[in-house]
Structure formats: C-alpha cells, structure tokens
C-alpha cells in the first residue's frame, strides 16, 4: 500500500473509529487523538516509541462500572465508542497480550476490546519480503502478538499489510484492499520458551536483600510516572462516587492508580503493605520480572524504555539490575 492509499485508508477508518496515533511535538512523540482530516498529515510513521501509551484505548483512565440508585444496583449496558490505536509498536502490542491474560474474565475490558481496532507498525530490517527472512519475521514476531492489522515498512512510502484477526480482514476488504497476508495467532510464548535473560533478572530480584532496594528507595520519589507510562501497568482503584443531589445514589468507578502512590497498599485499619519507597520499587520490579512470569509465563516488561525516559531522577532498569548483581557480589 502506498502513502496516498494509506491516507485514504485512515480517512476511511475515521468514519467509524476515533483514531489515536503518534504525533510529533518538538523532539518527542505523543499519542494524540486525530480529530480531523488535516491532522492525518501530522501522524508520525518513524516507529519511534511515543512517551505516553495507547493504554487508554484498552483500559480507560476512568470507567463507570455501574450506577446505584437509593442503595440498589442498576444494571449497566456496557457500551464503548469505537476507537482505533493506530501505529502501535510491537512492544505495545506485546503488552496487549498481558492485558488479555489479566482481564480475561473482565466483561468491561472484553467489551472495550471488541469495540476497538488495534493497528500496529513495524520496520522490516531485511532486504525484502522473500524467502527465509520473511518466514522468520512472521514466525518469530507476528505469530506471537495480538493485533487486527499490521503495517510493515517495505520501502520508501510503501507498506506490506498483515491481518491478525477476522475484524482486520473484514475492514481491509471493505476498503477494497486485498493485497494482505493473514497471520494465525500461535500464542504469546515462542517455541523456544521464555528469554533466558528473564531467569537471570528474576534471580537477581528474588535474591536481593532489603539494603539493595534501600539504595533505590532513597533515590525514588514515588511519583508514579514509570507506572503511568508503562504499557503493562494496570493498577486501579474502585470507588463509589456519591450523587450529591440524591442520597444513596451514585456510580461505582474504576480509575487508574499506581503501586507507588502512598495510599495504594492501605487496607482497613490504616495498615500499609508498601510503607516505604524501597518497598514500592521492589514491588514494581518483582511484579514485572517474578510474579507475572510465574502466573502467565510471559514477561511483565516489554522493553519499551518509557520508564527509563520519564523518571525525573534518572532511575534506569539496566542500572538497577547491575546494582543488584554487584551488591550481591559485595556481600
């Protein structure tokens, strides 16, 4: 598909979906809504990772679960406006796989996923779409991520199209484009299993003592930026918002939060499981590299690098793992 046809395809999608896509603002990219046709030209196809994520398309920042009136539950017809996440990176699409596992039985997430469209983008680093290079790309990457449509750069202003769902096929065919290849999803885990580097990091985290995490706790400000901009973080609060005009009425709302916030681990009676910054940062790393792989056999980190970039005090994952390793050796 050429760039001219691709722009027409985006215009076609806008008839049904509210589109969110990477747009350049200065030197950085941000995921922003594409509100009118003039903004289509601002969509950035460089494959650079945006600072923020497409996460709201899958998990709204604020989601009304149901209403209650005078103390009685009122069944809510779960309905979401159709939204399209356009040009998601392979790393962000890997995060979708974790969300699918985590929210497998969540009717709100499932309904949200049914209403949205996930379109990814990747750059093919080989010399062309022939022979072994093409087969390995499809087998090693595309078969193990969840998407509806995938754009793979095939040359200057030219893209190869893949579909990963029936929805993606139907949309492309309805647009009148049939030069695509369908990829059958083969599961999130590759045939060779989990990356051996994961086991090394898992061991470093499990074996680290409190003094090792204390070092990072002294640096961390617990601002939560790393978690908010992480495509795999999904911590949330559930609160009842009371109607100020009618007693006993209101809404139950699910909204984003992070495990770094002071009140996140507070339970009845005021006790907190994560009292210090050291415990919070330890919990964050443990969740991604220990608990998530144990529960789902996949990484809780997709290596997008957003946490490294947005941290106001310069904490980087590579530095943390190097410190944990050296700290253990010094004991």
Q: What is the pLDDT of residues 147-201, one digit of tens each?
A: 999 999 888 888 999 999 999 999 999 999 999 999 999 998 887 767 777 788 9
User: What stretches of the chain show up as alpha helix (H) in DSSP?
Assistant: 3-14, 55-58, 90-102, 107-115, 131-140, 166-175, 196-207, 210-219, 225-228, 277-286, 292-296, 306-310, 317-330
Please say whether the beta carbons of 250 and 240 come within 8 A.
yes
**pLDDT score recorded for residue 200:** 87
Determine which of 138-142, 165-169, 218-222 has the lowest per-residue pLDDT on average: 138-142
Inform me whether the pLDDT recorded for 110 exceeds 60. Answer: yes
Between CA 23 and CA 34 the distance in angstroms is 9
Please say whether the beta carbons of 62 and 239 come within 8 A.
no
Burial class (CB in 10 A: 0-12, 13-18, 19+), 139: middle
Give bridge partners of residue 69 from the DSSP assignment.
72
- Return mean pLDDT, the chain: 90
Q: Could you tell me how many residues make up the chain? A: 331
Is 0.85 surpassed by the pTM of this model?
A: yes
């Amino acid at each position: 598909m050429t760039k001219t046809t691709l722009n027409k395809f985006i215009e076609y999608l806008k008839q049904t979906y509210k589109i969110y896509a990477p747009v350049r603002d200065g030197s950085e990219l941000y995921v922003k809504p594409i509100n009118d046709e003039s903004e289509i030209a601002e969509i950035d196809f460089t494959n650079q990772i945006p600072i923020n994520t497409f996460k709201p398309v899958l998990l709204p920042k604020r989601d009304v679960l149901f209403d209650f009136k005078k103390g009685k539950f009122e069944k809510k017809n779960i309905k979401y406006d159709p939204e399209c996440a356009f040009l998601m990176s392979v790393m962000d699409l890997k995060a979708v796989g974790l969300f699918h596992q985590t929210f497998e039985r969540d009717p709100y997430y499932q309904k949200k996923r049914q209403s949205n469209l996930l379109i990814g983008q990747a750059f093919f680093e080989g010399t062309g779409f022939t022979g072994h290079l093409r087969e390995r790309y499809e087998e090693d990457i595309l078969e193990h991520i969840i998407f509806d449509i995938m754009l793979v750069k095939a040359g200057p202003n030219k893209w190869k199209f893949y579909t990963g769902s029936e929805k993606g096929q139907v949309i492309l065919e309805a647009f009148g484009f049939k030069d695509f290849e369908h990829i059958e999803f083969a599961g999130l885990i590759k045939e060779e299993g989990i990356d051996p580097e994961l086991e090394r990091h898992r061991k470093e985290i499990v074996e680290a003592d409190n003094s090792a995490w204390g070092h990072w706790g002294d640096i961390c400000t617990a601002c939560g930026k790393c978690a908010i901009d992480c495509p795999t973080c999904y911590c949330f609060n559930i609160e009842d918002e009371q109607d100020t005009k009618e007693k006993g009425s209101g809404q139950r709302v699910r909204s984003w939060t992070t495990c770094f916030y002071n009140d996140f681990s507070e339970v009845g009676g005021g006790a907190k499981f994560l009292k210090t910054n050291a415990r919070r940062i330890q919990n964050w790393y443990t969740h991604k590299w220990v608990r998530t792989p144990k529960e789902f056999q996949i990484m809780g980190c997709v290596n997008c690098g957003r946490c490294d970039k947005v941290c106001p005090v310069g904490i980087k994952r590579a530095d943390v793992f190097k410190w944990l390793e050296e700290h253990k050796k010094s004991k």
